[in-house]
Amino acid sequence: MKPFSFLSPILLFVYLHFLFCPNRVVAQALGNQTDHFALIKFKETIYRDPNGALESWNSSIHFCKWHGITCSLMHQRVTKLNLEGYQLHGSISPYVGNLTFLTEFNLMNNSFYGEIPQELGRLLQLEQLLLSNNSLAGEIPTNLTHCSNLKDLYLGGNNLIGKIPNEIGSLKKLQSLAIWKNKLTGGIPSFIGNLSSLTDFSFVYNNLELRRRYSTRNMSPQKTNPHFHNKCVSFEYLLLQGNSFNGTIPSSLASLKGLLYLDLSRNQFYGSIPNVIQNIFGLKHLNVSFNLLEGEVPTNGVFGNATHVAMIGNNKLCGGISDLHLPSCPIKGRKHATNHNFRLVSVIVSVVSFLIILSFIIIITWMKKRNQKPSFDSPTIDQLDKVSYQDLHQGTDGFSDKNLIGSGGFGSVYRGNLVSEGNVVAVKVFNLQNNGASKSFIVECNALKNIRHRNLVKVLTCCSSTDYKGEEFKALVFDYMKNGSLEQWLHPEILNSEHPKTLDLGDRLNIIIDVASALHYLHQECEQLIIHCDLKPSNVLLNDDMVAHVSDFGIAKLVSATDGNTSTIGIKGTIGYAPPEYGMGSEVSTCGDMYSFGILMLEMLTGRRPTHEVFEDGQNLHNFVAISLPDT
The CA-atom distances, in angstroms, between 37 and each of 25, 66, 93, 384, 387 are 19, 13, 12, 46, 39
Read off the pLDDT of residues 247-263 as tens digits, 9 standing for 90 and up.
888 888 888 888 888 98
The CA-atom distances, in angstroms, between 59 and each of 74, 270, 518, 628 are 21, 62, 58, 73
More confident residue, 17 or 537: 537
Terminal-residue alpha carbon distance, the chain: 126
Check residue 559 and give its pLDDT. Answer: 64
Check residue 572 and give its pLDDT. Answer: 67
Read off the pLDDT of residues 299-325 as tens digits, 9 standing for 90 and up.
998 899 989 999 999 989 999 998 888
Helix (H, G, I), strand (E, B) or coil at 181: coil
pLDDT above 60 for 380: no
- Asked if residues 71 and 99 have their Cβ atoms less than 8 Å apart, the reply is no
What is the biggest distance separating any 2 CA atoms in the chain, rounded to whole angstroms?
A: 129
Check residue 110 and give its pLDDT. Answer: 96
Check residue 578 and give its pLDDT. Answer: 85
Check residue 395 and give its pLDDT. Answer: 87
**Which of 78-92, 494-508, 614-628 tops mean pLDDT?**
78-92
Give the alpha-carbon dihedral of 586, 587, 591, 593, to 10 degrees.
Answer: 100
618 pLDDT band, cuts 50/70/90, is low
pLDDT above 60 for 582: yes
- From 108, 110, 121, 31, select the one nearest 76 (Cα to Cα): 31
Averaged pLDDT, 99-125: 94
pLDDT above 90 for 96: yes
Structural domain spans, the chain: 375-480, 481-632
- Is 172 annotated to bind a ligand? Reply is no
Averaged pLDDT, 63-71: 94
Check residue 377 and give its pLDDT. Answer: 42
With a CB cutoff of 8 Å and minimum separation 6, the contacts of 224 are 210, 211, 212, 213, 247
pLDDT above 50 for 3: no
Check residue 220 and give its pLDDT. Answer: 34
Check residue 558 and give its pLDDT. Answer: 63
Check residue 254 and give its pLDDT. Answer: 83
- Asked if residues 158 and 134 have their Cβ atoms less than 8 Å apart, the reply is yes
Averaged pLDDT, 546-561: 74
Tell me the angle at which helices 590-606 and 621-628 cross, rounded to the nearest 10 degrees. Answer: 50
12 pLDDT band, cuts 50/70/90, is very low
Check residue 65 and give its pLDDT. Answer: 93
pLDDT above 70 for 232: no
- From 300, 189, 193, 188, select the one nearest 255 (Cα to Cα): 193
Q: Which fold has domain 375-480?
A: Phosphorylase Kinase; domain 1 (3.30.200)
Averaged pLDDT, 407-431: 82
Q: Which fold has domain 481-632?
A: Transferase(Phosphotransferase); domain 1 (1.10.510)
Percent of the chain residues past pLDDT 70, beyond the cut:
81
Averaged pLDDT, 191-207: 78
Check residue 70 and give its pLDDT. Answer: 95
Check residue 27 and give its pLDDT. Answer: 43
Read off the pLDDT of residues 41-52 as tens digits, 9 standing for 90 and up.
999 999 999 999
Tell me if 375-480 shares its fold with 481-632: no
Check residue 631 and give its pLDDT. Answer: 63
Check residue 632 and give its pLDDT. Answer: 56
Catalytic residues: 534
Check residue 18 and give its pLDDT. Answer: 43
Averaged pLDDT, 551-566: 59
- 246-255, 568-577, 586-595: which has the minimum mean pLDDT? 568-577
Averaged pLDDT, 339-360: 80
Averaged pLDDT, 528-557: 85
Check residue 388 and give its pLDDT. Answer: 86
With a CB cutoff of 8 Å and minimum separation 6, the contacts of 449 are 380, 383, 384, 459
29 pLDDT band, cuts 50/70/90, is low
Give Cα 140 to chain centroid, integer Å. Answer: 21
Please provide the DSSP assignment of 272-326 as one string: PPPGGGGG-TT--EEE--SSEEEEEEP-SGGGG-GGGEE-TT-TEEEES-GGG-P
Read off the pLDDT of residues 339-348 as tens digits, 9 standing for 90 and up.
667 778 888 8
Enter the pTM of the model: 0.45
pLDDT above 70 for 190: yes
- Asked if residues 273 and 249 have their Cβ atoms less than 8 Å apart, the reply is yes
123 pLDDT band, cuts 50/70/90, is very high
More confident residue, 630 or 238: 238
Check residue 24 and give its pLDDT. Answer: 45
Mean pLDDT, the chain, integer = 80
**Which of 108-117, 157-166, 377-386, 439-448 tops mean pLDDT?**
108-117
* Residue 114: Cβ-neighbour burial (10 angstroms; 0-12, 13-18, 19+): middle
Averaged pLDDT, 399-422: 82
